[in-house]
């Protein structure tokens, strides 16, 4: 019989596990606490054109798919594969929040959209080739992670970081865009809370990915990092098409891609790699930065200053020094 070990929170290999556990718990939130109904007046008073409404709804439906897969397959595959019991606990908590994120978009839908329209949106998700392409690229690595392949955990961890710190942002853009102009601000509060979560998820998953990478020979590390860059390029190509398709007729596709590339760089930095697109914060449309709610404004654990320098900032009640790992 295997001797099974119990998780011992009184004896932790690395202080960061307690820090990340506490911060994740501190950030816990429930979608129903946000008074989304207040957005109804913006929606019903036709402040948005039909095309804008259509895009807004599609963006949220697409985000629902990404969180569904992250909660149902991505994080569970990582929970099963990591050995460390404290890491398992933290990833499990994060997995539960993915389900909260997925559910929260439905809270927005049920406030703004009709039942028939909601069904149409979920059908659209299944039929949008770009959306399906990008999530399937990520999912391939999650499924391989359940095998015994030597590099599978690193590939799953790095894919999770690309999903959370990079691919979500073509969707987050639009709610933030409206909130930056003072519209649909309650829904954007939900988005801000999700961004705050994804931010800590990306940092933690990135750290564990870096630890995993160090287990391999130098040449293998180079190969795996080249794979990540290749994946970024492939996903970027799909994002260009997806963004043109969704935002092109609103003439926002260029702005969206800049924001997406800015976040792709952050994903690479979470993985301990150099930025690829070199987009600076001042290149991002200020309306977007304005759209992130003030309470969650400091959502960047890692923000760039100059040449790929990584700086640790804070969210809510946490001191900078704790992330100096
Ligand atoms: Mn999520
Ligand atoms: Mn996440």
pLDDT greater than 90 at residue 148: no
Distance 217 CA to ligand 1 centre (A): 32
Q: Rounded to the nearest whole angstrom, what is the distance from the C-alpha of residue 102 to the centroid of ligand 1? A: 7
CB-based neighbours (< 5 A) of ligand 2, an ion: 164, 198, 201
CA distances from 169 to 49, 266, 298, 324 (A): 22, 11, 16, 26
Q: In this predicted model, what pLDDT tens digit does every residue of 27-57 receive, in sequence order?
A: 999 999 999 999 999 999 888 999 999 999 9
Prediction pTM value:
0.89
What the block records as the tokens of 173 is: 């853009």
How far does residue 255's CA lie from ligand 2's centre (Å)?
24
pLDDT band at 307 (very low <50, low <70, confident <90, very high): very low
Query: Which residues are 303's β-sheet partners?
Result: 311
Distance 193 CA to ligand 1 centre (A): 10
Which pLDDT band, with edges at 50, 70 and 90, does 294 fall under?
low
pLDDT at residue number 323: 61
pLDDT, mean of residues 298-324: 41
Please say if the pLDDT value at position 315 is more than 60. no
- Residue of 157 and 148 predicted with greater confidence: 157
pLDDT for 308: 30
pLDDT (average), residues 8-14 = 94
Q: What's the rounded mean pLDDT across residues 225-247?
A: 97
Q: Which pLDDT score is estimated for 317?
A: 46
**Closest Cα partner for 68 from 137, 125, 1, 119?**
125
**Per-residue pLDDT, 3:** 94
Looking at residue 322, its pLDDT comes to 52
- Reading the block at residue 26, the tokens are 């501190």
Asked if the model's pLDDT at residue 247 lies above 70, the reply is yes
Q: Which of 56, 105, 169, 247 is catalytic?
A: 105
Confirm whether 169 is a catalytic residue: no
Residues lining ion ligand 1 (Cβ < 5 A) are: 67, 98, 101
- The ligand minimizing its distance to the Cα of 201 is 2
- Looking at every residue in the chain, the average pLDDT score rounds to 90
pLDDT greater than 70 at residue 305: no
Torsion of CA 91, 323, 159, 124, to 10 degrees: 80
Answer whether 189's CB lies under 8 Å from 12's CB.
no
d(CA 279, CA 256): 12
Using the mean position of ligand 2's atoms as its centre, give its distance from the Cα of residue 50 in Å. Answer: 31
d(CA 252, CA 184): 18
Q: What is the pLDDT of residues 268-278, one digit of tens each?
A: 999 999 999 99
Ranges of H-type helices in the chain: 15-26, 40-44, 50-69, 75-81, 85-112, 115-127, 129-144, 152-162, 169-180, 185-213, 218-247, 253-270, 286-291
Q: Residue 259 Cα, ligand 2 centroid: separation in angstroms?
A: 18
pLDDT value at 292 more than 60: yes
How many CB atoms neighbour CB 312 within 10 A? 17
pLDDT for the residue 58: 97
Q: Is the pLDDT of residue 300 over 90?
A: no
DSSP string, 207-272: HHHHHHHTTS-HHHHHHHHHHHHHHHHHHHHHHHHHHHHHHGGGT-HHHHHHHHHHHHHHHHHHTT
pLDDT score, position 46: 82
Inter-CA distances, 270 with 24, 126, 310, Å = 17, 30, 9
85 burial (CB, 10 Å; 0-12 / 13-18 / 19+) is: middle
CA 3 to ligand 2 center in whole angstroms: 32
**What is the CA(196)–ligand 2 centre distance, in A?**
9
Query: Which residue from 64, 188, 69, 185 is spatially nearest to 119, judged by alpha carbons?
Result: 64
Ligand nearest to the CA of 68: 1
Q: What percent of the chain has pLDDT above 70?
A: 90
Confidence check: pLDDT of 310 > 70: no
280-285 long-range contacts, CB within 8 A, separation 24+: 280/304, 283/258, 284/258, 284/259, 285/177, 285/255, 285/258, 285/259
Separation between Cα atoms, residue 249 and residue 198, nearest integer Å: 29
Supply 300's token pair.
């960047």
Tokens 């894919």 belong to 159
Q: Which ligand has the nearest atom to the CA of 160?
A: 2
- Distance separating alpha carbons of residues 39 and 185, to the nearest angstrom: 7
How far apart are the CA of 64 and the centre of ligand 1, in A?
9
Domain range summary for the chain, segments of one domain joined by +: 35-296
Ligand 2 centroid to 99 CA: how many Å?
A: 9
d(CA 176, CA 185): 8
Write down the CATH superfamily of domain 35-296.
Ribonucleotide Reductase, subunit A (1.10.620.20)
* Residues 288 and 191 sit within 8 Å (Cβ to Cβ): no
pLDDT-based confidence at 75, cuts 50/70/90? very high
pLDDT of residue 81: 96
The predicted structure's pLDDT at residue 306: 27
């Amino acid at each position: 019989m295997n001797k099974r070990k119990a998780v011992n929170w009184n004896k932790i290999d690395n202080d960061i596990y307690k820090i990340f556990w506490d911060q994740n718990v501190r950030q816990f939130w429930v979608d129903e606490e946000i008074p989304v109904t207040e957005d109804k007046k913006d929606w019903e008073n036709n402040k948005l054109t039909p095309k804008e409404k259509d895009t807004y709804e599609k963006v949220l439906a697409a985000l629902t798919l990404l969180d569904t897969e992250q909660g149902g397959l991505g994080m569970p595959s990582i929970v099963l594969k990591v050995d460390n019991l404290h890491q398992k606990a933290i990833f499990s908590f994060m997995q539960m929040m993915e389900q909260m994120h997925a559910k929260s978009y439905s809270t927005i839908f049920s406030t703004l959209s009709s039942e028939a329209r909601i069904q149409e949106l979920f059908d659209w998700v299944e039929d949008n080739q770009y959306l399906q392409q990008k999530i399937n690229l990520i999912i391939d690595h999650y499924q391989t992670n359940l095998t015994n392949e030597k590099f599978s955990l690193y590939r799953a961890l790095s894919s999770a970081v690309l999903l959370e710190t990079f691919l979500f942002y073509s969707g987050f853009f639009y709610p933030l865009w409206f909130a930056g102009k003072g519209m649909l601000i309650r829904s954007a509060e939900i988005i801000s809370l999700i961004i705050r979560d994804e931010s800590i998820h990306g940092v933690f998953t990135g750290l564990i990915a870096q630890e995993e990478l160090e287990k391999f020979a130098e040449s293998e590390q180079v190969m795996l990092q080249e794979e990540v860059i290749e994946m970024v390029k492939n996903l970027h190509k799909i994002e260009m098409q997806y963004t043109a398709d969704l935002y092109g007729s609103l003439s926002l596709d260029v702005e969206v891609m800049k924001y997406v590339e800015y976040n792709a760089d952050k994903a690479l930095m979470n993985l301990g790699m150099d930025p690829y697109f070199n987009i600076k914060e001042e290149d991002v449309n200020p309306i977007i930065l304005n759209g992130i709610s003030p309470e969650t404004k400091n959502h960047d654990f890692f923000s760039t200053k100059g040449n790929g320098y990584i700086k640790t900032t804070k969210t809510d009640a946490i001191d900078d020094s704790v992330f100096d790992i």
